[in-house]
Amino acid sequence: MWSFNHIEKSMEKKLVKVAIWGFGAMGSGMAKMIVNKKGFDIVGVTDVYDGFVGKSIFEILKIENLQNHDVLVEKDIERILKVEKPDLVLLATDSFTKKAFAKLKFIVEHKCNVISTAEEMAYPYAKEPELSKELNRLAKENGVTILGTGVNPGMMMDLLAICISGVMSDVKNMEISRINSLSPFGPTVMEEQGVGLTLTDFNDKLVKDELSGHVGFVESTYMIADALGLEVKSFEQSMAPIVTNVDRKSPYGFAKAGDVAGVDMRSIATLSNKTKIKMVHPQQIEPELEGIHTGDYIKIKGTPEINLSNVPEVEGGIGTIAICVNMIPHVINAKPGLKTMIDLPVPRAIMGDVRNLIDEE
Ligand code: NAD
């Protein structure tokens, strides 16, 4: 009886209208996930890639159209925002707050909520306090919410450690490791990590500051520190090439033997109470080809000690796709403003009708 009412109730509610800006590896994966969930409606998709523009997303994805209308990829978001009036835009085009800023502003000024996959947006206050203030102001002024999230930063090297610290009476040092595969990611990630470069080109780009490597240690560290009520007193990070001994090929990357298959990133931070946060994150395409096993590990010294491990890693592609989609109802329900993962209810998989997760006005 109860579940019958529950279903009837969801049928009365409007579908949750979502638009996707950036139909690459992440954006297209989100579309695939959403069409298989109840209560969503993808009302628009935009991408600058000419090979997509004008085509049906269902044709591109080679999946059945389970919606009652088609969705053609458009070059420009404006019509979608003005005419389709989505409840939320999934923005999957950038890594940096500065680069995503104009897009976020445009979305928000059309009174639409937004979830960004930009790594820096997972905790934008860390590197871009002024832009963060401005985003917060714009979101409040327009009555909508902005969230940055992803698998990492956004969950595996920050939020998960923060959540588990909730059963600790005292936190001393943390060591968070993620040994992961870059294979699911698209061209943007391949380029940022230097996948496929010769060692000489890699070192050259490193000197010229043209490789970002993993973007997120600073964001994860500041998120943890703020969540624990501590300040970051010092922070250092390093990036070294991972040279492959065998040819490695992933959907969007190729590194021949002797060239760079990824980067080994490390960081260490000291917080105001002398707590150290160490992060270890070697990431590369096709690690298994050289016997490297992926995994996520969180060790926290303190009371009680924590020793979490998850083998193999939470796969970065599906992890990011899922957390962005799963956060949609929380973002729609949130008070207006710029939010981070520590401000919103805990993420959980949407298995029922998403409309039941949307608060009544
Ligand atoms: P991708 O290169 O596969 O896709 C990006 C897409 O955006 C491309 O199709 C491109 O044509 C499109 N695009 C770029 N600029 C555009 C614009 N101005 N207008 C419309 N379309 C535009 O990259 P991806 O793997 O999908 O990742 C997207 C971003 O998300 C990357 O910057 C990546 O680093 C980030 N990311 C973050 C996490 C995390 O854990 N926080 C995880 C995965 C990806």
Residues 133 and 170 in one domain: no
Pocket test for ligand 1, best of 93, 119, 185, 191 (most atoms within 8 A of CB): 93
Residues 82 and 53 in one domain: yes
pLDDT in tens, 190-245: 998 999 999 999 999 999 999 989 999 999 999 999 999 999 999 999 999 999 99
Q: What percent of the chain has pLDDT over 90?
A: 93
- CA-nearest residue, atom 2 of ligand 1: 188
Ligand 1 atom with the shortest distance to the CA of 186: 3
- CA-nearest residue, atom 21 of ligand 1: 47
The pTM score is: 0.94
Mean pLDDT throughout 354-359?
96
Tell me, in angstroms, the distance from the centre of ligand 1 to residue 148's CA.
Answer: 13
Res 118 pLDDT > 80: yes
Ligand 1 atom with the shortest distance to the CA of 317: 43
Tell me, in angstroms, the distance from the centre of ligand 1 to residue 26's CA.
Answer: 7
State the pLDDT at residue 188.
Answer: 83
Tell me, in angstroms, the distance from the centre of ligand 1 to residue 114's CA.
Answer: 15
Ligand 1 atom with the shortest distance to the CA of 185: 25
Q: Estimate to the nearest angstrom the gap between the alpha carbon of 305 and the chain centroid.
A: 28
Phi, psi of 253 (to 5 degrees): -140, 155
What is the DSSP track for 238-287?
EEEEEE-SS-EE-SS-EE-TTSEEEEEEEEEEEETTS-EEEEEEEEES-G
Residues 221 and 98 in one domain: no
More confident residue, 10 or 76: 76
Radius of gyration, alpha carbons of the chain:
21
pLDDT category of residue 99 using cuts at 50, 70 and 90: very high
Kindly state whether residue 77 falls inside one of the protein's structural domains.
yes
Ligand 1 atom with the shortest distance to the CA of 184: 25
Tell me, in angstroms, the distance from the centre of ligand 1 to residue 49's CA.
Answer: 12
Residues 177 and 308 in one domain: yes
Mean pLDDT throughout 355-360?
94
With a Cβ cut-off of 6 Å, ligand 1 is lined by 21-27, 46-49, 92-95, 117, 119, 122, 150-154, 185-189, 316, 320
Res 107 pLDDT > 80: yes
More confident residue, 11 or 331: 331
Tell me, in angstroms, the distance from the centre of ligand 1 to residue 16's CA.
Answer: 23
pLDDT in tens, 238-262: 999 999 999 999 999 999 999 999 9
Structure tokens at 296: 């996520």
Residues 24 and 107 in one domain: yes
Kindly state whether residue 12 falls inside one of the protein's structural domains.
yes
State the pLDDT at residue 1.
Answer: 44
Structure tokens at 63: 């999946």
- At 132, the amino acid letter reads S
pLDDT in tens, 155-184: 999 999 999 999 999 999 999 999 999 998
Rounded to whole angstroms, the Cα distance separating 281 from 60 reads 33
Tell me, in angstroms, the distance from the centre of ligand 1 to residue 189's CA.
Answer: 8
What is the DSSP track for 116-171?
E--GGGGSTTTT-HHHHHHHHHHHHHHT-EEEE--STTTTTTTHHHHHHGGG-SEE
Residues 137 and 64 in one domain: yes
Rounded to whole angstroms, the Cα distance separating 183 from 180 reads 9
Mean pLDDT throughout 321-343?
98
State the pLDDT at residue 11.
Answer: 61
State the pLDDT at residue 275.
Answer: 94
Contact call for residues 164 and 304 (beta carbons, < 8 A) = no
Within a 10 A sphere around the Cβ of 303, how many other Cβ atoms? 12
Residues 178 and 288 in one domain: yes
State the pLDDT at residue 5.
Answer: 55
State the pLDDT at residue 8.
Answer: 55
Kindly state whether residue 186 falls inside one of the protein's structural domains.
yes
What is the DSSP track for 82-110?
III--SEEEE-S-SSHHHHHHHHHHHHHT
- CA-nearest residue, atom 36 of ligand 1: 117
Q: Estimate to the nearest angstrom the gap between the alpha carbon of 105 and the chain centroid.
A: 19
Residues 208 and 84 in one domain: no
- CA-nearest residue, atom 33 of ligand 1: 95
Q: Domain containing 292 — which CATH number? A: 3.30.360
Residues 39 and 67 in one domain: yes
34-49 as b/e: b if 16+ CB within 10 A: bbebbbbbbbbbbbee
Residues 123 and 167 in one domain: no
Mean pLDDT throughout 23-34?
96
pLDDT category of residue 348 using cuts at 50, 70 and 90: very high
Q: Domain containing 107 — which CATH number? A: 3.40.50.720
Residues 130 and 231 in one domain: no
pLDDT in tens, 36-82: 999 999 999 999 999 999 999 999 999 999 899 999 999 999 999 99
Domain that holds residue 59: 2-149+318-357
Res 3 pLDDT > 60: no
Mean pLDDT over each residue of the chain, to the nearest integer: 95
310-327 as b/e: b if 16+ CB within 10 A: eeebbbbbebbbbbbbbb
Pocket test for ligand 1, best of 116, 188, 327 (most atoms within 8 A of CB): 188
Kindly state whether residue 154 falls inside one of the protein's structural domains.
no
Say how many domains are in the chain. 2
Tell me, in angstroms, the distance from the centre of ligand 1 to residue 94's CA.
Answer: 5
Residues 35 and 167 in one domain: no
